[in-house]
Amino acid sequence: MNTRRALNSYAKVSCEANIGVASPHELIQMLYDGALQRIVQAKGAIQHNQVGVKGKKINETIAIINGLRENLDVDNGGDLANNMEMLYIYILSVLNKAHQKNDIALLDEAAQLIGNMASAWREISPSKVTESSL
């Protein structure tokens, strides 16, 4: 077994173990962190002209953002949920443009927006987050 494969296997098991014990608040944070990691990987792929990797990482980021968006409670979340949905839609459009244009600046814009949301999420007390509010 090569070292890279071993590290990937370890990372996958470690991530799955963390998901199994994470609170809803921690799961959202993990999703934000995962989206940011994939953007970094996509940027590296663009810099190294790895078109397939870039597409895969941007598509994975899009899937994460879509998952966050689909789990918003827009019926009960008021203006906050609606504003978050609009921001997620904007981030998705930025990611799609970055994918089409191989544009690192657009990936940086998406990362900044996601990073701001992640920072705000960290500031929220986990005791205020319940499964029904996600």
* Best CA proximity match to 84, nearest among 108, 122, 120: 120
Reported as a single tens digit per residue, the pLDDT across 5-60 is: 544 444 444 445 455 557 888 889 999 999 999 999 999 999 999 999 999 999 99
Mean pLDDT of the 98-119 span: 97
Cβ-contact 54, 42 below 8 angstroms: yes
In whole angstroms, give the CA distance from residue 110 to residue 101: 14
Name the band, by pLDDT with cuts 50, 70 and 90, for residue 124: confident
Place of tokens 């904007």: 90
* Choice between 8 and 116, residue whose per-residue pLDDT is larger: 116
